[in-house]
Amino acid sequence: MSLSDDLRFEGRRALVTGAANGFGAAIATLLSELGADLVLADREDGPLREMAGRLGALHHIYDQADSRTIDALVSAAGPVDILVNCAGILVAKPLLETTAAEARHLVDVDFLGVLHLMQGVGRSMVERRRGVILSIGSQTAFCGAEGRGIYAAAKAALSQLTRTAAVEWGPAGVRVLCLAPGRSLTRMTAETARPGYEGDRGLARVPLGRWGTAEEVAKLAVVLVSDAASYVTGETVIADGGFVLG
């Protein structure tokens, strides 16, 4: 099979969370162009409907902090071949300023919600003996994450969860991966990626000298969930312009 055949997704159903904006929207757009049948999920009704309409995809509103709505999403989506976990939030605060409620909510959305969705989708992938799960982690999981401590801890937990799921579900032919982007220009980073932001050492730490883009993340994500990466599992692939090296 050729590389270009490996990058086609006809006949495959992909569930993309956080699909109303940013990375999720870019990944959904690329998967749609490459032939995938899509189910898009998010908590934001208006932009999600618009995205789904544009791509001719199904859509479902849910809240990743609420396990009942995640169960409803799993039922509504039906068996999927690909799950891409993009839905997430950021708390950009130093540790000493982060409240317990903020920390708990972030862990609910960025870790426990992803775990719950992975369990729901993974169970049917293991039964059907096929599937790929990709979660969007973060470069912050690999360094002292100035001003993002709880977020970084939740993303590090996601990388570890990825390893265990890959080991437990690999014998059933299910691959599980994590993609850890550096700071990229999306709504989430509208404040921290703007020129002149002084909340951390920022851009000065990026050897490639610029922030990433949603399109760059989407291209790598699509390769990772495609058959071009059929022997890769359990890994967290970092795409950060070299940030964690410095």
Q: State which of residues 6, 44, 50, 146 lies at the interface with ligand NAD (CB under 6 A).
A: 44
For the CB of residue 128, give the shortest distance to ligand NAD in the complex, in Å. 25
d(CA 116, CA 165): 12
Query: Judged by CB under 6 A, which stretch of 2-10, 87-95, 160-168, 229-237 contacts ligand NAD?
Result: 87-95
- Among 89, 107, 143, 228, contact with ligand NAD (rule: CB under 6 A): 89
Q: What pairs with residue 30 in β-bridges? A: none
What is the edge-to-edge ordering of all strands in the sheet holding 174-181?
Answer: 58-61, 37-42, 13-17, 82-85, 131-136, 174-181, 236-239
The reply on whether position 29 binds ligand NAD by CB under 6 A is no
In DSSP terms, 184 is beta-bridged to 212
For ligand NAD, which residue of 29, 32, 98, 138 counts as binding (CB under 6 A)? 138
Residue 233 makes CB contacts below 8 A (sequence gap 6+) with 166, 170, 175, 176, 177
The active-site residue out of 62, 151, 197, 231 is 151
**Candidate residues 31, 73, 88, 169; the one interacting with ligand NAD per rule CB under 6 A:** 88
Candidates 39-47, 164-172, 194-202, 219-227; binding stretch for ligand NAD (CB under 6 A): 39-47
Q: Where does residue 209 fall: left (phi above 0), alpha (psi -120 to 50 degrees), or beta otherwise?
A: left
Q: How far is the CB of 43 from ligand NAD (least distance, A)?
A: 4
Q: Does 213 bind ligand NAD (CB under 6 A)?
A: no
Closest to 152 (Cα-Cα) out of 106, 221, 205, 97: 106
Per CB under 6 A, the list member of 188, 221, 222, 224 interacting with ligand NAD is 188
Please tell me whether residue 189 binds ligand NAD under the rule CB under 6 A: yes
Per CB under 6 A, the list member of 32, 159, 162, 186 interacting with ligand NAD is 186
Q: Which residue has its beta carbon closest to ligand NAD?
A: 22
Residues numbered 57 to 76 that lie near ligand NAD (CB under 6 A) are: 62-65
Q: Among this protein's residues, is 151 annotated catalytic?
A: yes
Q: Are the C-beta atoms of residues 173 and 81 closer than 8 Å to each other?
A: no
In sequence order, the β-bridge partners of residue 185 are none
* Catalytic residue set: 151
